[in-house]
Amino acid sequence: MTFPPAVPEIPVAELGSALAYYRDCLGFVVDWGDDGLGLAGLSQGESRVFMSSAAYRATNGHADSGPVVVWLNLSSRAEVDGLHARWSAAGATIDAPPEAKPWKLHEFSARDLDGNVLRVFYDFGSEEREAASKT
């Protein structure tokens, strides 16, 4: 069995404004949404997320939790830098510019209107591990 990609559920206070932020500032496509239900599906590239309102979570037995952290693993430093530039230009709330961390991730993080964090990274330690395996 091939394990499928995870699809996180991001808790939001107000679905309409959250969807607009993800669409306009972060470049996600709103694939579907139901204001009455309080649930929506978004995508960008191969990433998919669900977004749920407090009312939806309450009626489905989920605690009203949040904020959450969603990690996005990109394929290169250039992709991380490019996404940072794109999100910054669109007015996204960015915590800090991309930088190489001691734990061997080139990363930055952005926040949505509800304080949820999108942590964007490239694992440059993989380059070192691959080079070491060839010696």
* pLDDT tens track for 2-31: 888 889 999 999 999 999 999 999 999 999
Calpha distance 25→27 (Å, rounded): 6
Residue 53 within any structural domain of the chain? yes
Residue 55 within any structural domain of the chain? yes
40: containing domain: 9-133
34's tokens: 């139901």
Which pLDDT score is estimated for 127? 78
Tens-place pLDDT, residues 54-82: 889 888 877 767 799 999 999 999 999 99
Residue 69 within any structural domain of the chain? yes
Total number of domains in the chain: 1
Which pLDDT score is estimated for 64? 67
Residue 70: which CATH number?
Answer: 3.10.180.10
User: For residues 109 and 83, is the Cβ–Cβ distance under 8 A?
Assistant: no
Calpha distance 73→53 (Å, rounded): 26
Residue 104 within any structural domain of the chain? yes
Residue 2 within any structural domain of the chain? no
Calpha distance 26→78 (Å, rounded): 17
Residue 1 within any structural domain of the chain? no
Calpha distance 123→73 (Å, rounded): 8
Residue 74 within any structural domain of the chain? yes
Residue 3 within any structural domain of the chain? no
